[in-house]
Amino acid sequence: MTKMFPQIFLVMGPPGTGKTTQAQTLAQNLGSPHLNTGDLLYYAAQGNDPAAQDIKKAMEKGEMVDEKITEQLVEKYLYEHENSEHIVVDGFPRTLEQAQMIKFPITKIFYLKVGDVTVKERLSKRERHDDTPELIEKRLKVYHEETEPILDFYRQKGILEEIDGDRTVEEVARDIEKKASSS
Strands 160-164 and 108-113: parallel
Residue 2 lies in a domain: no
Q: What residues contact 3, with CB distance under 8 A and at least 6 apart?
A: 82
Residue 91 lies in a domain: yes
Residue 135 lies in a domain: yes
pLDDT in tens, 124-165: 888 877 788 998 998 899 899 988 999 999 999 999 999 999
Domain that holds residue 32: 7-181
CATH at 130:
3.40.50.300
Residue 1 lies in a domain: no
Q: With 60 as the cut, is the pLDDT of residue 1 above it?
A: no
Q: Based on the structure, what is the number of domains in the chain?
A: 1
pLDDT in tens, 79-110: 899 899 999 999 899 889 989 988 888 999 99
